[in-house]
Amino acid sequence: MPIVGTGWELHLKRLGMHKSGSKQRTYGSYQVYIDGEAQPSLAGFICERLGPGDNTTASNGKRIEAKTYPLWTQFGHYRSIGYSTSEDVAGKPPMPAILLLGTGARTGILIHPAHPPNLYLSSIGCLNPTSAVGPKDLIDFWDSRRRVIALLESLKAHAPAAFAHEVTTRIKDASIVIDGEPTKQLTATPTPAFEAVSAETALLLPISKASALICARWLMQNFGDKLTNACAGKAYKPKHLCAIVCQETAYKWIPWIGTQSVQTIVERAVFDASGDYPGTTRTAFPVNTKAFRDKYGKPFTDMLIAEANKTRQLQGWGDKPWVYKGYGLFQYDLQHVKTAEDFFKNREWYSFDNCLRRVVEELDSKLSAQGGNLWKAIKAYNGSGAAAERYMQNVKVFTDYCEEVTGP
């Protein structure tokens, strides 16, 4: 069941069943999208009761049916406003929560933390967010609580009117989309590529270490010789180029590994709606789609919009009239259209070789400008200021991760 691509959507993909002695639960991964754009810090896993999903009988002890449900604020033992802020007592009420409605005969279905004494699963039908856990693992209350609060804070920013009063209120354009009615038993913490992108997502890093290793392995398996040759005699190595991809695009395309060809993944690396996506701005040309159309005309603009929408469709999202700003696995920015128009007009990002040539040219240029200082060059590759500093620090972390795959 794909997301719609508008509003605030929590997409839950049920993966399978956990069993530990007499205890059992359903295990799935989640990712929040706002107007179709994944929110890297709002991802992880959710535990529920066993299936099959059933909304026809009250208090039946099963998970709810796989479908889309509207989200509401909740007040009582669990609350969307005024929950306990205690950092000393695990499970001190009231705890944070979000209410699901449209659940048929099932009532009181909430997204809330797993809490003592039932840290394997705290649910008669509710949903407990968590980091990655194996079949025998308990959920960490503090992590679970932090995840629920992060969801609430995002919802509050999305629809503040719903949180103005302590009255159960529909959160405008907010929903949870639940996929799957799995019955298979999971024998270990799952590691498929499509799931690892959501596991242990850090607040500052777009992907986890597990996902970074998947990214580096995929790049080296498919383009290892090209990466090695491109770095010959350079200050940067394959580990640095893999790390840049981890920062730039991996969180988007890792879910496609195993379902899309290598060539499709390369072609569909069209991302970054900044300047057009609501609430975002951009200073480099083009600041938005209109600015691009005004300078380059309708045919070129329409072609790039079509390319962006092919990528959106691959993610299950609806079309938008937006020119995207990043092209290729290394995200060659559309600002370069002024000096490299053919790269964009001729869809040269469809070739990994072209993308690699561009990133090497950019890094060489930045290295020269920065007196050979590699990390200053990587910062300059992204831009300047605080955001570029964070970018560089992230690439440093990913470089250490990727070295486990690429070598020094």
Residues 41 and 122 occupy one common structural domain: yes
Decide if 235 is inside a domain. Answer: yes
The confidence band for 258, taking pLDDT boundaries of 50, 70 and 90, is: confident
Q: Which is more confidently placed, 408 or 200?
A: 408
| Nearest in space to 324 (alpha carbons), one of 273, 256, 261 | 273
* Residue 379 structural domain: 209-272+325-406
Question: What pLDDT is attached to residue 1?
Answer: 60
* Within-domain flag for 181: yes
Q: 67 with 124, same domain?
A: yes
Confidence (pLDDT) at 31: 94
126 and 245 inside one domain:
no
* Residue 201 forms part of a structural domain: no
On whether both 106 and 67 belong to a single domain, the answer is yes
Domain annotation covers residue 314: no
The three-point CA angle 37-40-46 to 5° equals: 105
Q: Are residues 40 and 176 in the same domain?
A: yes
- Give 385's pLDDT tier (boundaries 50, 70, 90): confident
User: What does the pLDDT look like over 281-294, one tens digit per residue?
Assistant: 899 999 999 999 99
67 and 179 share a domain? yes
Which residue has better confidence, 203 or 379?
379
Domain boundary among 139, 158, 188: 188
Which of 153, 188, 223 corresponds to the end of one domain?
A: 188
* pLDDT in the model for residue 300: 99
Q: Are residues 105 and 184 part of one domain?
A: yes
- Contact assessment for residue 337 and residue 295, using Cβ atoms and an 8 Å cutoff: no
The answer on pLDDT for 56 being more than 90 is yes
Q: Both 237 and 179 in a single domain?
A: no
Considering the domain boundaries, does residue 287 fall inside one? no
**Per-residue model confidence (pLDDT) at position 198:** 37
Residue 89 belongs to some domain of the structure = yes
Same domain, 167 and 88: yes
How far apart CA 47 and CA 97 sit, in angstroms, is 15
CATH assignment of the domain containing 335: 1.10.530
Q: State whether 263 and 362 are in the same domain.
A: yes
203 assigned to some structural domain: no
Whole-model pTM: value is: 0.56
Number of domains the chain is built from: 2
What average pLDDT score do residues 126-155 get?
93
169 with 66, same domain: the answer is yes
Query: Is there a domain that residue 247 lies in?
Result: yes
184 shares its domain with 225: no
